[in-house]
Amino acid sequence: NAGVTQTPKFQVLKTGQSMTLQCAQDMNHEYMSWYRQDPGMGLRLIHYSVGAGITDQGEVPNGYNVSRSTTEDFPLRLLSAAPSQTSVYFCASSYFPRKTGMNTEAFFGQGTRLTVV
C-alpha cells in the first residue's frame, strides 16, 4: 500500500517558470489537500478537494491552481513561480468526514521541497 505519493521530492525553478507538483493516493479517499510550510512555520492550507470535480480555496490560494479529475490524483500547478513560493509542499488525503464516527485520519506525503530563484 503506497499511501500518498508526491513527486518530485526536490525542484529548483527560475522565477516565472511553471510547474506541476504531483500527488497521488491509493486509498480511495475523497478528501485531498495541499499545504505549504515555510521554515520554522506551521502548515498553511492552499487548496483542498472533497471529491472528483470539486475543489475549494484554503488560507493561501493565490498563485496556485488545482483540479481534481480523478479520486486518486490532485495536482498543484504553479503558473508563474515567484521566490515567495519557495517552501516545502505537503499533500494529504483522508476520508471525507460526512458523518460522526467515521475515521478521518489524514495521511501525508513526504513533501516536495521547492526553491524558486
The residue ranges that bind another protein (CB under 8 A) are 31, 33, 35, 41-45, 48, 50, 58-59, 90, 92, 94, 96-98, 100, 104-111
Give 3 or 83: the residue with its C-beta nearer to another protein: 3
Which DSSP string corresponds to 44-56?
EEEEEEEETTEEE
Q: CA Rg, the chain, in Å? A: 14
DSSP symbol at 11: E
d(CA 56, CA 66): 9
- Give the count of beta carbons closer than 10 Å to the beta carbon of residue 83: 10
We find the least distance from the C-beta atom of residue 74 to another protein, in angstroms, to be 14
We find the least distance from the C-beta atom of residue 87 to another protein, in angstroms, to be 13
Give 14 or 105: the residue with its C-beta nearer to another protein: 105
We find the least distance from the C-beta atom of residue 80 to another protein, in angstroms, to be 27
- Whether the CB-CB separation of 4 and 93 falls below 8 Å is answered with yes
Give 37 or 65: the residue with its C-beta nearer to another protein: 37
